């Protein structure tokens, strides 16, 4: 059940003593041979000029005009209407182009969370998704982030979750399931929803990947039937207690002024075994539903504005401390180094992004938002 899971950073309590080595990055989600799609994401035609004329600016969803917000959600729904490019026999949940991203995220979860790849891998994953919205669905607007600090007081009171046609859909139908148990010594009050999302652009959306226990983050496998199709609704349980506690302005400012990369990671992901979820997990649990799961959360369309905000916090830290911008936190390439793996450096090759990008890319190529494949900035810096 989604109301009785461990938080992302406390999942180590479920680690088995007989750990299995992680599978190598194979062609997990290689393109279906019969699929017809351009290879816009495969070429590394980087080094294009990035200047004031070419740079894109990412903005707060809540500050976009209603028509701009609707243009964005229309593009997301357009992606949901495009055919999947993954072999549906192997991945029945990959029912459309949008779900291809969620499927790839599940397969990479162990290697791109609670480790040194987290920030840069997700930075490029977001860029691939944004590029798809533009190239495939003709989206012309800004790529939005969800400023969860500005909505921390009451998420349902802001346009992003008001349930209108100009929102990212609203809360789930109220379902009182009691407090949410996150660990032996940590629980949070139930939010204000808990059931299916029935309002806004993504009302009655099906999220077919079932809940995956966080212990699979560490044992190198996924459960049998992880990619079987399930008729599960998109659920949310917006939680003001969590947002006020973990994603408030003070928490974001502290992260944007972390003394080094290790402290930044600490503030972002919390402390194992403590009452601190950190900003990242706190944002996820403030939404609830599928967003409570580290594996399957990318099914919810809010996942992308949330992670774009995480990227904004990271970018702000890089701008605030340019002498530290290219540094890593000294961790490895597996979640909490389970199983043990080499320390990641700037020269380390990132895990791939499925058929969206299988070319080898080093961490250093994804460090700057104005170099490599990127040319974007945020409308302001957290200072």
Quick one: pLDDT at residue 274?
66
Give DSSP secondary structure letters for 284-332. Answer: HHHH-GGGG-TTTGGGSTTHHHHHHHHHHHHHHHHHH-GGGTT---S-B
Q: Under a CB-based contact definition with an 8 Å cutoff, are residues 85 and 104 in contact?
A: no
Quick one: pLDDT at residue 186?
84
- Its domain, for residue 339, covers 56-378
Which residues are 172's β-sheet partners?
197
Q: Is 30 contained in some domain?
A: no
In the three-class reduction of DSSP (H, G, I as helix; E, B as strand; rest coil), residue 334 is classed as coil
Q: Is 238 contained in some domain?
A: yes
Confidence of residue 19 (pLDDT cuts 50, 70, 90): very low
Q: How far is CA 309 from the centre of its chain?
A: 10
Provide the number of structural domains found in the chain. Answer: 1
* Structure-token pair, residue 293: 């799961």
Q: Is 313 contained in some domain?
A: yes
Q: Is 5 contained in some domain?
A: no
Q: How far is CA 202 from the centre of its chain?
A: 18
Torsion angle (degrees, nearest 10) of CA 222, 223, 227, 231: -140
Q: Considering only residues 62 and 176, tell me which one the structure prediction assigns the higher pLDDT.
A: 62
Mean pLDDT of 352-380: 96
Q: Considering only residues 74 and 185, tell me which one the structure prediction assigns the higher pLDDT.
A: 74
Q: Is 25 contained in some domain?
A: no
Q: Is 157 contained in some domain?
A: yes
**What's the CA gap between 263 and 248, in Å, rounded?**
18
Q: Is 15 contained in some domain?
A: no
Question: What digits encode the pLDDT tens for the residues 246-267?
Answer: 999 999 999 999 999 999 999 9
Instruction: Tell me the H-state helices in 112-256.
Output: 118-137, 240-246, 249-256
Check pLDDT > 90 for residue 164: yes
**What's the CA gap between 325 and 261, in Å, rounded?**
9
**What's the CA gap between 12 and 114, in Å, rounded?**
11
Q: Is 10 contained in some domain?
A: no
Q: Domain containing 203 — which CATH number?
A: 1.10.1280.10
Of 30-44, 182-196, 237-251, minimum mean pLDDT range: 30-44
Check pLDDT > 60 for residue 37: no
Q: Under a CB-based contact definition with an 8 Å cutoff, are residues 310 and 122 in contact?
A: yes
Nearest CA among 277, 293, 147 for reference residue 217: 293
- Percent of the chain exceeding pLDDT 90 equals 80
| Torsion sign over Cα 238, 146, 364, 102 | positive
Crossing angle of the two packed helices 303-320 and 278-287, in degrees rounded to 10: 160
């Amino acid at each position: 059940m989604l109301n009785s899971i461990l938080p992302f950073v406390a999942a180590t309590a479920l680690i088995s003593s007989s750990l299995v080595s992680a599978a190598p990055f194979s062609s997990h989600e290689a393109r279906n041979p019969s699929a017809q799609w351009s290879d816009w994401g495969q070429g590394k035609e980087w080094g294009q000029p990035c200047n004031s004329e070419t740079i894109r600016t990412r903005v707060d969803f809540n500050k976009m005009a209603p028509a701009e917000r609707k243009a964005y959600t229309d593009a997301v729904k357009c992606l949901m209407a495009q055919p999947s490019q993954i072999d549906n026999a192997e991945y029945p949940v990959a029912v459309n182009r949008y779900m291809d991203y969620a499927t790839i995220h599940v397969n990479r979860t162990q290697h791109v969370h609670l480790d040194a790849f987290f920030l840069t891998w997700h930075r490029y994953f977001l860029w691939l998704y944004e590029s798809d919205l533009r190239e495939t669905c003709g989206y012309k607007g800004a790529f939005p982030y969800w400023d969860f600090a500005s909505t921390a007081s009451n998420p349902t009171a802001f346009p992003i979750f008001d349930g209108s046609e100009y929102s990212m859909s609203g809360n789930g139908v109220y379902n009182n399931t009691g407090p949410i148990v996150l660990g032996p010594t940590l629980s949070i009050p139930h939010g204000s929803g808990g059931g299916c999302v029935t309002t806004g652009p993504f009302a009655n959306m099906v999220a077919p990947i079932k809940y995956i226990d966080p212990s699979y983050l560490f044992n190198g496998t996924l459960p049998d039937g992880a990619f079987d199709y399930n008729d599960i609704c998109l659920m949310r349980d917006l939680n003001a207690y969590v947002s006020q506690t973990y994603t408030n302005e003070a928490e974001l400012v502290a992260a944007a002024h972390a003394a080094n990369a290790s402290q930044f990671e600490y503030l972002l992901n919390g402390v194992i075994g403590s009452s601190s979820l950190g900003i990242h997990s706190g944002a996820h649990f403030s939404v609830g539903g599928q967003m409570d799961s580290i594996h399957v959360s990318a099914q919810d369309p809010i996942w992308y504005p949330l992670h774009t905000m995480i990227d904004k916090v990271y970018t702000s830290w890089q701008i605030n401390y340019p002498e530290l911008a290219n540094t890593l936190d000294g961790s490895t390439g597996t979640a909490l180094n389970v199983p043990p793996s080499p320390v990641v450096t700037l020269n380390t090759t990132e895990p791939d992004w499925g058929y969206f990008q299988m070319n080898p890319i080093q961490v250093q190529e994804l460090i700057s938002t104005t170099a490599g494949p990127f040319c974007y900035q945020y409308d302001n810096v957290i200072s």
